[in-house]
Structure 1
């Protein structure tokens, strides 16, 4: 080591004086930087500067851990603008009432769960009346909800004679039963379309509820807004009369003649409507709005509680995590009623299918359709994106039945079907009795 040091010293001394000065200066500077530690002044009496930022309540969720997933903020205020017309009018008694006709495979749980009703309420209903486990095809359920989305009342029309009602009480539901005492009488009402079908039907003697039932029965065959002056209609209603007053009614059959062509809808024992040959009138739907199924990043939850505000912030649809630019498809035949950019929803499309169903598609990158355009099941309507109030590329998809949001993954979808076997035979026998009553003269 000493030998090395002497060799370095000898080499250094043999250097010209300017070189020795420069090399020595660099050595001192290097050592100074290596051992120097800066002194930072931290006055204890000085408080840190803090800036308070008040966020609107609707922005608070963006700070939550769940915001790292593609999950929507509440968007209902931005998209509750589906165009309405007189065909959507409801009677005062119908506002807030949801109706459902029992079909094949239905149970009390499967029916109510798709509308987001809590399983606890469903269990309490079943405890109040075990017969609710034996629903039959064609029976009708109707219910109302509280402002918080809890079940308030359920009505079960077992038959045209017997109705059971279940009202919420402390600790569960209380059942009451009523037997109808009136006589059921068939009545035929007919007329000619004037300024509008609704006005003409009421003038012919149909109530608002009966007009609505006719529109729903014919929704897949006829756009009632496009009926022309001079088109004819004939409606067969079965009405319960008690002491000369009408208590309730049920549509049996309807016939519409537009541009010289006749359209029929006749009720079968299952509560659904078919044409004269027993073929189904409903148009089938796809379950998913994409060509293949993608991961669900946020489920339907109409009673979701915001952990920060403590308020109910409903998630009225399902979020699918999918790459931007994925083709979005119409799930069924219908008419585009909205195609625009709309605040938190970003670019979004709404399609009306008949008069009962509406679907909504949000946060789209590009729209491929325009309002008023007719689409078929499987048509491309948009490309998915990340527009609006969104924290990641995804598609928010909603399905509404009778202006009520339902779970798109479990909702009972309309299917193109028809009657077969003995059911069709019985139906055709009924058709022979109904059609002669639907005359225009």
Structure 2
């Protein structure tokens, strides 16, 4: 190799001055072209998606740590509302959760942005909360400062424990109802909207909400037609002749001649007639590979100058302009436009409970109203709107509440197996005949 270099140097020295200038210019142009090609080279061609990497590359670390301006608002009002949202949304506690395998009270509340100190204040004098079981439901409310105000734990259909914040921490109240639980089958035919038809059949607003949530992955309730039929099996507690509370056991919707079923299992979740999961699985990251987080989820972030709370409702990923942005789950595009501080902005609705938002995009690849699948390319990342540098701002919302996308419990499309499935199929054989039309 050394001999080759010597020969080249000797030949170069024997060239005239004009030849050496020409040779140097060509060498410089060649080197410049190679650097330019390396800079724009994208191994992720339009129709290929590389596997997710759990490590940062040198390219990632060279990008500046970019984050949202501290006073940037989230375009909440851009998410379109429909009748189901407007008619029953205000009557449903937005912070609700069904306990799943591996959950603790801390892991549940932390993903919704509550500090561990808040959880400790609640559990310190209420150790029973360490005994959460799969299928139990939790509801909670926050005060104006974003702190936990109250929590309701449905221990069973008869026992409910409420924890209310006071001067000395959280006080526990145990309510035990002594009514009689009876099964009721309510049927109806659509003549107008589903909400009005369900009310005419005798369902309450909370029961309508339970039905739409159970069938959210199978049906678009806005596209049901006149003449479609439904049957709902409810377990209602009757005390002194009045319905005190209810639980959805199963539902059947017949639309355009096709039947859709959702039946509650012992884990509090709904499955079809064969025990297959109804939820559509989500990706953890909205990108083909994992990029560096430049600004984390923080709903209680304080502005460094004003001192007021300026929540950061999502996660910022530091990534080069033009990087692919993926839909994390199946859904419908409800926003695809330029939106002020958010820049080029896409929002996707996944069923009735979930929505995701993607901001500061360089280019939008989808249109409002378009149906998309998990993993579809919806945009290219950018630096548009009020942004301090190239990055993707990504938000995950559950029941109209922003949650931490990196820790939230995501929907998984999985079915029951083993004894759980056999127990469920036994239950389904009892429920399905009752869902007559």
TM-score range, shorter chain: 0.7 to 0.9
Is residue 262 of structure 2 the alignment partner of residue 255 of structure 1?
no
Task: Report 1:15-414 matches (<5 A).
Answer: 69-76=66-73, 78-89=75-86, 91=88, 94=91, 97-414=94-411
Residues 188 and 411 of structure 1: CA distance in aligned 2, closer, same or farther (over 3 Å): same
Task: Kindly tell me the number of residue pairs found equivalent between the two proteins.
Answer: 374
Question: What is the rounded CA distance, in whole Å, between the counterparts of 1:92 and 1:397 in structure 2?
Answer: 24
C-alpha contact 1:255 1:262 (8 A) present in aligned 2: yes
Q: Secondary structure at the match of 2:356?
A: strand
How much has 1:194 moved relative to structure 2?
1.2
Question: What is the rounded CA distance, in whole Å, between the counterparts of 1:155 and 1:302 in structure 2?
Answer: 22
The C-alpha deviation readout for 1:257-278, integer Å capped at 9, x for no partner, is 1111110000000000000000
Question: What is the rounded CA distance, in whole Å, between the counterparts of 2:188 and 2:116 in structure 1?
Answer: 47
Question: What is the rounded CA distance, in whole Å, between the counterparts of 2:390 and 2:130 in structure 1?
Answer: 42
How much has 1:80 moved relative to structure 2?
2.7
C-alpha contact 1:79 1:342 (8 A) present in aligned 2: no
Residues 91 and 368 of structure 1: CA distance in aligned 2, closer, same or farther (over 3 Å): closer
Question: Who is 2:19 aligned against?
Answer: none
How much has 1:90 moved relative to structure 2?
5.7
C-alpha contact 1:359 1:399 (8 A) present in aligned 2: yes
Question: What is the rounded CA distance, in whole Å, between the counterparts of 2:129 and 2:249 in structure 1?
Answer: 26
Residues 68 and 412 of structure 1: CA distance in aligned 2, closer, same or farther (over 3 Å): closer
How much has 1:71 moved relative to structure 2?
2.7
Question: Who is 2:423 aligned against?
Answer: 426
How much has 1:72 moved relative to structure 2?
3.7
How much has 1:75 moved relative to structure 2?
3.8
C-alpha contact 1:82 1:338 (8 A) present in aligned 2: yes
How much has 1:96 moved relative to structure 2?
5.1
Q: Secondary structure at the match of 1:131?
A: helix
In structure 1, runs of 5+ residues without a counterpart are 1-66
Question: What is the rounded CA distance, in whole Å, between the counterparts of 2:250 and 2:436 in structure 1?
Answer: 12
RMSD of aligned Cα (Å): 1.4
C-alpha contact 2:338 2:344 (8 A) present in aligned 1: yes
Question: Who is 2:55 aligned against?
Answer: none
Residues 131 and 258 of structure 1: CA distance in aligned 2, closer, same or farther (over 3 Å): same
Question: What is the rounded CA distance, in whole Å, between the counterparts of 2:73 and 2:264 in structure 1?
Answer: 36
Question: What is the rounded CA distance, in whole Å, between the counterparts of 1:242 and 1:79 in structure 2?
Answer: 41
How much has 1:77 moved relative to structure 2?
5.1
Task: Tell me the TM-score normalized by structure 2.
Answer: 0.84
The C-alpha deviation readout for 1:418-438, integer Å capped at 9, x for no partner, is 011111111111111111110
How much has 1:79 moved relative to structure 2?
4.0
The C-alpha deviation readout for 1:349-399, integer Å capped at 9, x for no partner, is 000000110000000000000000000000000000000000000000000
In structure 2, runs of 5+ residues without a counterpart are 1-63
